[in-house]
Chains A and B, each alone.
Chain A
Amino acid sequence: MPQVEIRKRLISVEEIFHEGGPRAAIPLRRVSAVTVIRNPFAGRYVEDIAGFMDDLTPLGLAMARDMVAALGGDPKVVEGYGKGAIAGTAGEAEHAALWHVPGGYAMREVLGDTRAIVASTKKVGGPGTRLDVPITHINASYVRSHFDAMEVGMADAPRADELLLALVMTTGARIHARVGGLKAGEIKGEDGLR
């Protein structure tokens, strides 16, 4: 399988103090890691692509570790996560789907035995395309306060023959969460849902 050829990386950290309501004692932090790589399958139909997921695994782990480092180094502060990918226009959505397994595995590995499925999205697009990466609680998908999304993108990516791969992590609930539902304190943590 082809080598992973990185062109660019972007790490972004948001600290949110308020959104028009009371100022939080501890700001919500959200981190995204974006890596732009060459799409080895661009420009033609390739049937057997699944092996590339293994090649992407070390990249996913490196991104997840960098994100935890950007949050100060303690994986325990992470409460929400998500992943996404954009395939350049000479690629297909199926190429973006190659990110599901390595991206999800990487965050579970680095965060330590998380239970919930990693929310995800994907699309095909040109340079500057923005992707709203969905976010849910790492141990229970139904925790309503942690439903969120983080927009990622890069002005010059993805080029036609590239893939833009993204992971996101958050340190808590939306800054003024107040629409009820399952609370983080009520998680049973058995099935990844509640």
Chain B
Amino acid sequence: MKAEIRKIVTFVEETHREMDRGINPPTRRAAAVAIIANPFAGKYVEDLTPLMDIGEELGALLAAKAVAALGIAGATAESYGKAAAVGENGELEHAAAILHPKLGTPVRKVLGKGAALIPSSKKRGGPGVALDIPLGHKDAAYVRSHFDGMEVQINDAPRANEIMVAIAVTDSGRPLPRVGGLTKAEIKGEDGLR
């Protein structure tokens, strides 16, 4: 099953100052969000394989859109995250089917690597719901400077029979990281954790 896409929205956010300090270069992050029809809205369906295939398709599409919006080569991306909001006639398991089984592989292909788990969140909500996409370093989940989150919101989505699927990609961590922990210079990049 192919995704029936109503709308795609990209966001690019740059932070130039924080607490009166200049951020040079600015930290940048992008999110690409697709609004798709939920083929299983309003009914219980046991086999969610079609949604898993849609996840695979959207992983490639949205990762490419986010990277293009940042204007960087995929391999230079630093952190990533994914999230989905299911409209009121769907269930959280629909979001899980899109996000978890197959979406990650094509995302990692776009980004060159991606040894770390892709942090995720999901929720059910109505149009305009605020979706917080968790962010973590793509090669080492413990890099503390890159723990973050990006909020996206689209006023007319998700409608009751829709799903909002989001992928976020950054070329940097938080603006003024200073809570210690593993730094990106110390990444070994073997196990996806450190």
Contacts and interface: CB of A to CB of B under 8 A. Distances in A.
Interface of A: 5-19, 70, 130, 151, 153-155
B130 interface: yes
24 contacts: A5-B17, A6-B17, A7-B17, A8-B13, A8-B14, A8-B16, A9-B13, A9-B14, A11-B12, A12-B12, A13-B9, A13-B69, A14-B9, A14-B154, A15-B9, A16-B6, A16-B7, A17-B7, A17-B8, A130-B128, A130-B153, A130-B155, A151-B155, A154-B13
A7 B16 contact: yes
A155 B16 contact: no
A15 B17 CA distance: 30
A153 to B, nearest CB: 7
B186 interface: no
B151 interface: yes
Contact of B7 (A6, A9, A15, A70): A15
Contacts of A17: 5-8
Nearest to A14: B9
Interface of B: 5-18, 26, 69, 128, 130, 151, 153-155
A19 B6 CA distance: 6
A13 B5 contact: no
Contacts of B13: 8-10, 154
B6 A11 contact: no
Nearest to B17: A7
Contact of B16 (A6, A14, A130): A6
Contacts of A8: 13-17
Contact of A18 (B6, B17, B151): B6
Q: Which one of B13, B26, B128, B130 has the greatest number of beta carbons of chain A within 10 Å?
A: B13
B155 A15 contact: no
A72 to B, nearest CB: 11
Nearest to A6: B16
Contacts of A70: 69
B6 A12 contact: no
A84 B15 CA distance: 21
Contacts of B17: 5-8
A59 to B, nearest CB: 12
Nearest to B130: A155
Given A153-B153, A155-B151, A13 B15 contact: no
Contacts of A9: 13-14, 16, 26
Given A8-B15, A9-B26, A14-B8, 8 more contacts: A5-B17, A10-B11, A11-B69, A13-B9, A14-B154, A16-B6, A16-B7, A130-B153
Given A13-B69, A153-B153, A155-B151, A7 B8 contact: no
Nearest to A32: B11
Contacts of B26: 9
B161 to A, nearest CB: 10
Q: Which one of B5, B7, B18 has the greatest number of beta carbons of chain A within 10 Å?
A: B7
Contacts of B69: 11, 13, 70
B41 to A, nearest CB: 14
B8 A15 contact: yes
A13 B18 CA distance: 25
In order of increasing CB-CB distance, the 4 nearest A-B pairs are A151-B155, A7-B17, A155-B151, A9-B14
Contacts of B8: 14-15, 17
Contacts of B5: 17
Nearest to A5: B17
B97 to A, nearest CB: 22
Nearest to B132: A155
Contacts of B11: 10-12
